[in-house]
Every structure is written in structure tokens, then in C-alpha cells.
Amino acid sequence: MTSKSNDENKDSNQLRLWSAFLYFDYRVLWFSTVTATATMNLRMIITAVWLYERTGLGSTLAWLGLIELAVRIPSNLYGGVFADRLDRKKLIAFTQFFSFFLIGFMALLESSSSLEIWHVYLVSAILSATSVFGNPARSAFTARVVPRNVLSHAVAMNTITWQVGTIVTPFIFYLTSFAWRDTASDSLVLSFWINTLIAFFSVISPFFIRESGKALEITKTTSINKNLIEGFKYVISHPILPGLYILDIGVTVVSYYRELFPIFAKQLYSRGRDAVAILTAFNAIGAIFGSLLVMYTHKIKRKGVIVLYATLVYGFLLIIFGWSTSIWIGIFALIALGAADAVGMTMRQTVVQLTTPDNMRGRATAAHSLAAMSANGIGKWEVAIMSDYIGAGNTMILGGFVSILVVLIIWYALSGVRKYSYQED
């Protein structure tokens, strides 16, 4: 009997903020997600700051985004297939091992003042591939460790987890990045080593989950490429998912800002590492508020409309963020942006899980991740390049207007998103 079955006597109909945590396997999966998220977020902050301080060019981060995108696309597609074929627990642990090993490698190079730009690009490419390869397994596993009527809470808590890591890691970075400073160097040695330690916990934690990691009803005799094609056909024929994915791509490509805070800190506020930490943390705080808000929407049937309204608000907030050169207004805008983005993202993920059977969930989740990561990679490149030419503020203002237009097009042209309803018990 699985851990979820053992917990059936829990009154999950009386949903509370902590409902998902009543299930042991979810608690372990949550801890695994915390450490994996902290590992990824801290790595991205460290490498972004290291590259921008080394070169002073937004284009350095732009090209990093394209390199990451190039490896993420095939990795994500096949990650979804293998998430439906292999033990998801082992797959998560295996992919996290690469983070532990390669971040440790960068730590050694930085310790000896041997770290070069091409090292950062190469390691970032490999870790982008491996982390993305394991993400569908992690996302698909959520529906196995909680009952169906707790799923939206669990997905929202996953989003909160990601944002908690995003809050904590900037301050870990800020404290550790100055701890090693001396008159001769601005070394990030301690930041790299702390990142390596966190990665170690992300490797071992999945093995403590009691629920089976294997997907249900997978046809093992089917080839991997046929599995991939089956998933593609399922997604494009789905009445709702294509609209959700197009919405995500259309908005993010013109507005991605989360890994580009070194640019905004310098161009909008003429500040450095302190502003990077502050902006990153407050954006994550807003996302936590948004994720908590989602937990109180389980009685609202029109889930698709929630996604559209959240994204529309997101577009207006981008304009405010780009318009002001006051860091206080910027913080307010980023808190609200984080909240709006979290509502839309959490609800999209919930819809994917609710409308997909378990044996297709890894591939459907991978398609959702593919849309998000493609948009993130292209958006990172576009925003960074445009910031060098027209300024970071003007880039965000333009992105806000385009985002509003995209929402209106999806609203009227792809009605499946607007019409989707689901009442949670």
C-alpha cells in the first residue's frame, strides 16, 4: 500500500493552506524541490553577476540565454518521454547529481582564480540540459503523492517553494559574495561552495519518497521516438493546452526579466549587487503572495479566465516597472509582477495536470516546460540585447504593450482557454 493510500483517512475536503503537507511523500518531494530550486537559482545569480561584472555587457547574458535554450529544447522533450518510462525518483536524483558535480567544479576553478567565461557557458549549458531533463519527472510526480482534490494546493505550494528559494538565494549570494572580498579580488568562491553543498541535498532527498516512481500504464515496448510523437499529437489536439502554451510564449519572449536583474539594477537605479539581491527577493515575495492567492481559488470554476486576467495585469505592471527609475516603485512593481505571474503560472500547471492522464502527464508537462523555457531563452536574449540599444526601461514598456495585445488575441481567437472550467471538490 502506498503512502498516499495510507493517508486516505485525512479529510482532504476541508482544504487548508497546509493540506498538501499532510502527506509524507509530498513533504519529501517538497524538500527535494526546495534544494533543487535553491541550487538552480543560486547558480543563475552567481553566474549572471560573474559574467556581467567581468564584461559589463548585457549581450553576454543574452548569448548565455541562447546557449541554454539550445540545449534545453531536446533535453526537455526527451525528459518528458523518460519521465513516463523510467523511475521518476531515480531520474530526479540522477539529473541533480550533475549540478552537484559541475558547480563543485566551478567552485574549484574560482578558488584558484582559473574560472573563465567559456567555463561558465559550458557548465551552464550542461546544467540547463540536465535540470530540464528532470523537471517533467518532478512535476508529473506531484499528482502521485497527493489526492486529486489537493492537487491545485500542491502545485501552488510547489510554486511557493520555487519562490521561497528565489527569496533566500539572493541573500545567500549577497552575504557570501562579500564574505570573500579583499582588496585584490571580488571573488565568488564562497558563493560557489555553498551552492555545491545545497546541490548535495538535492541529490539524496528523492530516495526517501515511498511512493513508486514509475508511471502508470506505460507501454514499454513502444520506442522512445514513438512516445515523443504520441505526446506531440496529444498536446496539439488538446482543446486547451495549445492556447496556454502560446500565451506563455507570446508574453515571456518580450518581457523576460528575472535573470537580468544585474542589467536593471545598473540601468534603472545605478546600483550593483545589493540591488540585484533586493529586486530578486521582492519579486519572489510577490510570487508567494500570488501562489497563496491561488489556493483560495479552488471554488472558482473558470480556471482559464483566471489565467487570462492574471496575464493581462502582468502586462500593465511591466509598463510601470519600465517607466520608473525609483527603486521603491520598482520594488512595488516587481512584487505585483511576481504575484500576477505566479497566479498565471500555477493555474496553467494545474490545468495541465488536471486535463492529462498519468501516462501522458510527463510529456504534457514537458510540452508546457518547453513553451516556458523557449520563451525564457529567447526572451532573455531579446530583453538583454534590446536593453543595450533602447534601454532596459523602454524594453519593459514595449514588452508590456505587446503582452496586453497577446492576451486579447488568445481571449478571442483561442476560446478553449477562456471557456475552461473545473470545480474542485
The CA distance from 222 to 244, in Å, is 29
Question: Is residue 97, in this structure, part of any structural domain at all?
Answer: yes
| CATH number of the domain to which 112 belongs | 1.20.1250.20
Q: Is residue 9 in some structural domain?
A: no
Within 21-131, strands assigned E span: none
273: domain range? 20-419
Number of domains forming the structure of the chain = 1
Residue 11: inside a domain = no
Q: How confident is the model at residue 200 (pLDDT cuts 50, 70, 90)?
A: very high
Backbone φ and ψ for 182, nearest 5 degrees, come out as: -145, -175
pLDDT of residue 11 exceeding 60 = no
Q: Tell me how crowded residue 90 is: count the other CB atoms within 10 A of its CB.
A: 14
Contact (Cβ atoms closer than 8 angstroms) between residue 140 and residue 215: yes
**Within-domain flag for 221:** yes
- Higher model confidence: residue 396 or residue 235? 396
Cα–Cα distance between 186 and 202 in angstroms, integer?
28
In a domain, 82, yes or no: yes
* Residue whose C-alpha cell is 481571449: 411
pLDDT (tens digit per residue) in 209-263: 877 666 655 545 566 677 777 777 777 777 777 777 788 788 888 888 877 888 8
Amino acid sitting at position 411? W
pLDDT digits (tens, 9 = 90+) for 21-79: 777 888 888 888 888 888 888 898 888 888 888 887 777 887 887 787 777 777 776 77
Compare 366 and 193 and report the one with higher pLDDT: 193
12, part of any domain: no
Task: Answer whether residue 401 shows pLDDT above 50.
Answer: yes
- What is the helix (H) or strand (E) element at residue 77, kind and residue range? helix 58-83
pLDDT of residue 185: 46
Is 6 within a domain? no
Place 299 in a pLDDT band, splitting at 50, 70 and 90: low
SS (HEC) of 195-235:
HHHHHHHHHHHHHHCCCCCCCCCCCCCCCHHHHHHHHHHHH
Residue 192 domain flag:
yes
Segment 170-194 shows an average pLDDT of: 71
Q: Alpha-carbon distance 196 to 269, whole Å?
A: 31
pTM above 0.75, yes or no: no
Helix (H) or strand (E) holding 150: none
